[in-house]
A and B are shown apart, each in its own frame.
Chain A
Amino acid sequence: MDEQDLRLTVNGAGYAVRCDPATPLLDVLRHDLGLAGPRFGCGQGLCGACFVLIDGRARSSCDLPAGAAQGHAVTTVEGLAGRDGAPHPVQRAFLDEQAAQCGYCTSGMIISAVALLAADPSPGEEQVRAALEQNLCRCGAHQRIIAAVLAAARRMACGDPPGRDGRARQDRQAAP
């Protein structure tokens, strides 16, 4: 055990954390910073539940030493809201499309989607699938997640109108 004072920038704020720099960033985010958004899924960087943005790029935080995050901007799903506290368009699109079942993978999915839309504001379905390839979902909500990301892209392209909070799905009726 070799504790050091780490300086981390998370969701725009600076933090000093005393810990072994080999501690996984996820552990520091969840325990030292009290952020529940990044979830522990595998500890091996293989499932995407713990994804965060590092300088705008999505990656796993469970296998990233906290020390290696120094000097980089870390963003978790909690840090995506606008200055007015309004959820990010991708978050709103996930609600509109009811794009989850259990929701354990949702934070990571949203992080990957935000990174994609920053790099490619108008992706097609294939690009969305490719961008989410490292994010596993066990409940089978994939189709809704793809729809949410495409809807978020459309929403952001037209200046982000307010969300409908799930109403996109409320019109569904039974077939005769």
Chain B
Amino acid sequence: MTGPAGGPAASGHPAGPALPPTLAANPRLSAWVDLSAAGAVTVSTGKVEYGQGIWTALAQVAAEELEVGLDRVTVAPVRTDRSPDEGITSGSRSVEESGAALRQACAQARMALLAAAARRLGADPASLRVADGRIVGPGGPTGLTYWTLVAADPAVLDRDAGPPVPASDPRRWSVAGRSAPRRDLPAKVTGRPAFLHDLALPGMRHGRVVRPPAVNARLAGLPDAAALARAGLPPGTAVVRDGSFLGVVAEAERDAVRAAGVVRRAASWLAGPEPGLGALPPLPDCDDLAAFLRSAPAEESTVARRADQAAASRAVRTVAAEFTRPYLAHASMAPSCAIARWDGEQVTVWSHSQGPFALRGAIAAALGIAPGQVTVCHAEGAGAYGHNGADDAAFDAVLLARAAGGRPVRVLWSREDELGWAPLGPAMLARIEAGLSPEGRIVTWRQDVWSNGFIGRPGSGGHPRLLAAAHVAGGEPAPPAPDGPPTGAMGSTRNAVPGYDIPDLLVRRHRLLAMPLRTSSLRSLGAFLNVFAIESVIDELAAAAGADPVAFRLAHLSDPRAARVLREAARLAGWDARPRADGTGWGVGYARYKGLAGYCAAVAEVEAHSSVRVRRLWVAADVGKVISPDGVANQLEGGAIQSASWALKERVRFSRSAVTSVTWDDYPILRFSEVPRVQVAIMESEEPEAGAGEVAQGPVAAAIGNALADAVGVRVRDLPLTREQVARAIERG
């Protein structure tokens, strides 16, 4: 969530508008645009592709600005020794940040190349234009192209970005603003190597890590090599042990799998950490997370305060309620994977991390070496929805490769380790108390949020936060995850401040200071529960006021962009003419993501007979200017379906010592028979790009919760919204 992005504009240009922050921090134009291969444009950014289609959108931005055909543009994979550092690919900021930086870098590159052409031609630069990379003058083609200009002066783009220049007018876009086919899909559809998991380096060996049986267990003993061989350890297998970090390295992947099994059965473990070393607290009761969240030590801070005693005193009806979400798993389709190779004192790591630069720093810190000794090369993994196991797997590979004599070692996690050991989205509790005036206006709002921190990525809070760093000799668990400043935009406070017109308001965060299960970023952070909770209370207030849920919201939303998405979602769904049938219900949810980014409203139709089923979803979003409408639609649809999966089914289960929901049977996600139909609408907008990847998570969960309450007549406040939870809510009345 936090990255080195930001900082001052390029020095020497104090006046005028600032450069996009990540361009200012990486001002060399040649770091962004490479025209050295004839006819081709290679752009480098610091943002990584993980199935969200960002490379396609960024290629569109570059093609538009450079005025070349999209097919000429390739986006280079991120490498920490070459790519501009744009922090972490997270927070739905890639189009906003990297798109802006790349647009400006390309606009300046184009201008520099036109100036070079003008000098060669003795022409006025203003008389020249570009057509698919060819320089065209008043009399037609000049015979010059970007590539001939670069061949004549290879250093033409070795210059720092100057003051901002005007970029292309969105009204004249011909490549950006239109849906472009995703460039990574042909390989994936035909089964060609497309993922880090498919990368085979020369001489590569295969590693597996044998994790402890419990979060605090320590390795007590391991039989000697002869005994392991007798137990079936494949010949040529190296066993790597460092404290309680235990792994194997073998020639073939199948041997590594077999060896890990032999070692797992042979190793003996003790409960509790090494004497004198820190430990994680015991895991809480999986079935009473609210008790844990309320009672754990916590640091309290104020998120927002607007005091209006006069308004608050007019409250005649109050709604007070508590809402919870369980721990959630990333549950990516591919287990985490990494390759590492030591060349003397240098280590190169191939990782599907969302933050290659942060990972480089964390690996260096964990090993006590200089960041310059570590190079992280990004390669695509399966879909990522936050801080998953990718970084941990990278460090595993680094540790195992130390014993491989300069040969690369590939590590692939098991499904069990992926679900059991990757960082989790934290459990949360939100308590809300809201008051309604006699006229049916919301006059006062109190919201308290309890959660572990969401900012547990590598390096966060000055700690490497790599799983194996806690297991190696002398290693200790990372301290509880930070949560970012309590602004209402970050961490557990994300969307904790309702976006409605409420005169008297107090929102507080209680960040837990004990972290029994490792928590970190998961798509939309606190917004998922906060919006679910806020929108549930809004529906209850609307009912108390005798108002229609959509009309009640509109009456409290003075922002026209908010009203527009809400009206559009209601229109799409046919809200005013929604059919009423026994056991089915309709609900609406709205939020502006982070309180300052994209707007999204959703309507859900839910069926609650023997089980809870979402039949249809309608999602309307305003995410500002759009580079690729179909890319945005894909993100909205996917976000809606994933949110429905979290809301209906998902819950990490654990004993008092370890996560137990470690297979797809124990951690079910939404399947085809359960997936709702989703219809999306993208609002046309001239506003700045705002990111679409996370806007739907909160509003969709809220719409589902409200629809369920409409269907069954009681409100389920604890996620997930299973049949059992409905039964419990009915019992409680």
List 25 interface pairs A-B (beta carbons < 8 Å), by A numbering.
A1-B258, A27-B253, A31-B254, A37-B190, A38-B191, A41-B415, A44-B664, A78-B190, A95-B185, A95-B186, A98-B185, A100-B185, A100-B188, A101-B634, A103-B51, A107-B191, A130-B673, A138-B385, A139-B51, A139-B383, A140-B645, A140-B675, A141-B634, A143-B641, A170-B180
Please give the residue numbers on chain B whose beta carbons come within 8 Å of chain A beta carbons, in ascending order: 50-53, 178-182, 184-186, 188-195, 197-198, 232, 234, 252-254, 258, 331-335, 380-385, 412, 414-415, 568, 620, 626, 629-630, 633-634, 637-642, 645, 663-665, 669-673, 675, 677-678, 681-685
Q: What's the nearest-Cβ distance from chain B to residue A50, in Å? A: 11
Residues on B with beta carbons closer than 8 Å to the beta carbon of A104: 51, 188, 195, 332-334, 381-383
Q: Please report the C-alpha to C-alpha distance between residue A155 and residue B180 in the assembled complex, in whole angstroms.
A: 22
Q: Please report the C-alpha to C-alpha distance between residue A116 and residue B56 in the assembled complex, in whole angstroms.
A: 31
| Contact (Cβ within 8 A) B198 A136 | no
> Counting CB contacts under 8 A, is A154 at the interface?
no
Q: B617: nearest residue on chain A (CB-CB)?
A: A143
Please give the residue numbers on chain A whose beta carbons come within 8 Å of chain B beta carbons, in ascending order: 1, 19-20, 23-24, 27, 30-31, 35-44, 46-47, 49, 76-78, 81, 87, 91, 94-95, 98, 100-107, 110, 128-130, 132-133, 135-144, 146, 165-167, 169-176
Q: What's the nearest-Cβ distance from chain B to residue A169, in Å? A: 4
| Contact (Cβ within 8 A) A98 B664 | no
Identify which of B179, B381, B626, B640 gathers the most chain A CB atoms within 10 Å of its CB. B179
Residues on B with beta carbons closer than 8 Å to the beta carbon of A130: 672-673
| Contact (Cβ within 8 A) B672 A146 | yes
Question: A98 and B192 in contact (CB under 8 A), knowing A47-B664, A133-B672, A175-B684?
Answer: no
| Contact (Cβ within 8 A) A175 B681 | yes
| Contact (Cβ within 8 A) A136 B671 | yes
| Contact (Cβ within 8 A) A105 B185 | no
Question: A172 and B415 in contact (CB under 8 A), knowing A94-B185, A106-B189, A141-B638?
Answer: no
Q: Please report the C-alpha to C-alpha distance between residue A80 and residue B253 in the assembled complex, in whole angstroms.
A: 27
Q: What's the nearest-Cβ distance from chain A to residue B629, in Å? A: 5
Q: Please report the C-alpha to C-alpha distance between residue A166 and residue B626 in the assembled complex, in whole angstroms.
A: 18
Q: Please report the C-alpha to C-alpha distance between residue A47 and residue B50 in the assembled complex, in whole angstroms.
A: 19
Residues on A with beta carbons closer than 8 Å to the beta carbon of B188: 100, 103-104, 106-107
Report the tally of A-B residue pairs with Cβ distances under 8 A.
204
Q: A138: nearest residue on chain B (CB-CB)?
A: B333
Identify which of A40, A87, A130, A135 gathers the most chain B CB atoms within 10 Å of its CB. A40
Q: Please report the C-alpha to C-alpha distance between residue A87 and residue B192 in the assembled complex, in whole angstroms.
A: 12
Q: Please report the C-alpha to C-alpha distance between residue A129 and residue B385 in the assembled complex, in whole angstroms.
A: 25
Q: Please report the C-alpha to C-alpha distance between residue A9 and residue B186 in the assembled complex, in whole angstroms.
A: 26
Q: What's the nearest-Cβ distance from chain A to residue B153, in Å? A: 37
Q: Please report the C-alpha to C-alpha distance between residue A20 and residue B198 in the assembled complex, in whole angstroms.
A: 23
Residues on A with beta carbons closer than 8 Å to the beta carbon of B639: 140
Residues on B with beta carbons closer than 8 Å to the beta carbon of A43: 414-415
The 4 closest A-B pairs by CB, nearest first: A37-B191, A102-B51, A166-B181, A140-B641
Q: A41-B415, A103-B51, A166-B179 are in contact. List 4 more A-B contacts (CB 8 A).
A: A98-B185, A100-B189, A136-B333, A140-B641
| Contact (Cβ within 8 A) A102 B383 | yes
| Contact (Cβ within 8 A) A87 B182 | no
